Amino acid sequence: MTASGAPTTLADLLRSARRKLAACGVEDAALDSRLLIEHFTGASRSDAIARPATVIESGVAARVEEALERRCRGEPVHRILGFREFYGLRLSLSPETLEPRPDTEVLVDALLPFMRDVAAREGGCRVLDLGTGTGAIALALLANVQQATATGVDISDDALATATRNAADLGLSDRFTARKSDWFAQISGRYSVIASNPPYIGSGEIAALQKEVRLFDPLRALDGGEDGLDPYRIIATGAAFHLEQGGLIAVEIGSTQRVDVSAIFEREGFGPARVVADLAGNDRVLLFATA
């Protein structure tokens, strides 16, 4: 119901939501209000154009209002929705999973040609995804290489439960194994591909992150130790024991970490690195083969 007592329409709701988010400083007020309204009302994008006078039930409008309040307090829109698209896959989020980012899709793109070659040559391709979170990287790779199998490792039970649910929702359970492990601690055997988007923010830099990240992405998914490089040291050392001869390592990095991370892997006998840029042209992924 609007202030005048008239029923709230879809057009009213879109207009007032956009104004509310803009007034509380949300950068993408138009997009975020549309996503929230489509989710809670079930309206599609074209309904807003074709059926703007659709009446919105008061209970639904109240749920939208509550979602807008959460967004105004800084909660990212996909946390409120409870899911996010990654590489065309709908992935559920939970409190201990990082919200997968579009930049990480670059890592998936970089690995797929290699994986397809291995699968064509050997009839399979074993992937180890270290710090799997929602399962984003492993599940995107499995969805695109039918003969591949993947083990998704995480230290968080909540993340592993979410990755397992996402695998089931995507029909990929038979090729995905979730394994609780502190990096390689519980891992045996060798893999054709070791992939990781590890925590890579320096501990001292966390406080300066945007509140959407600092307050809503789990600290364990962000904090890479004093210089942000601790997980790379562990991954590079362990990869020597867990990468097949002729295999490939792909790690996501912070945009200023190329030289340091390359040196860490090169000291362990990998490389030199192939560097892949993200959508904004920043160094984002390093690929290392066995020497």
Ligand X SMILES: C[S@@+](CC[C@H](N)C(=O)[O-])C[C@H]1O[C@@H](n2cnc3c(N)ncnc32)[C@H](O)[C@@H]1O
Site residue total, ligand X (CB under 6 A): 21
Q: Are 21 and 74 in contact (CB under 8 A)?
A: no
Is 256 labeled as ligand-binding?
no
Looking at residues 139 to 158 of the shown chain, list those that interact with ligand X (rule: CB under 6 A): 153-156
Binding mask of the shown chain, residues 155 to 174, with x at each position contacting ligand X by CB under 6 A: xx--x---------------
> How far apart are CB 288 and ligand X at their closest, in Å?
18
> How far apart are CB 88 and ligand X at their closest, in Å?
15
100 binds ligand X (CB under 6 A): yes
Is 151 labeled as ligand-binding?
no
133 binds ligand X (CB under 6 A): yes
Pick one of 16, 33, 94, 132: the residue that binds ligand X (CB under 6 A). 132
Three-state SS annotation for the chain: CCCCCCCCEHHHHHHHHHHHHHHCCCCCHHHHHHHHHHHHHCCCHHHHHHCCCCECCHHHHHHHHHHHHHHHCCCCHHHHHCEEEECCEEEECCCCCCCCCHHHHHHHHHHHHHHHHHHHHHCCEEEEEECCCCCHHHHHHHHHCCCEEEEEEECCHHHHHHHHHHHHHCCCHHHEEEEECCCCCCCCCCEEEEEECCCCECHHHHHHCCHHHHCCCCHHHCECCCCCCHHHHHHHHHHHHHEEEEEEEEEECCCCCHHHHHHHHHHCCECCCEEEECCCCCEEEEEEEEC
> How far apart are CB 133 and ligand X at their closest, in Å?
3
137 binds ligand X (CB under 6 A): yes
220 binds ligand X (CB under 6 A): yes
> How far apart are CB 7 and ligand X at their closest, in Å?
41
98 binds ligand X (CB under 6 A): yes
> How far apart are CB 99 and ligand X at their closest, in Å?
7
With respect to ligand X, which residue has the nearer C-beta, 61 or 145?
A: 145
Is 225 labeled as ligand-binding?
no
Looking at residues 32 to 91 of the shown chain, list those that interact with ligand X (rule: CB under 6 A): none
Contacts with ligand X, residue ranges (CB under 6 A): 98, 100, 104, 131-134, 136-137, 153-156, 159, 182-183, 197-199, 220-221
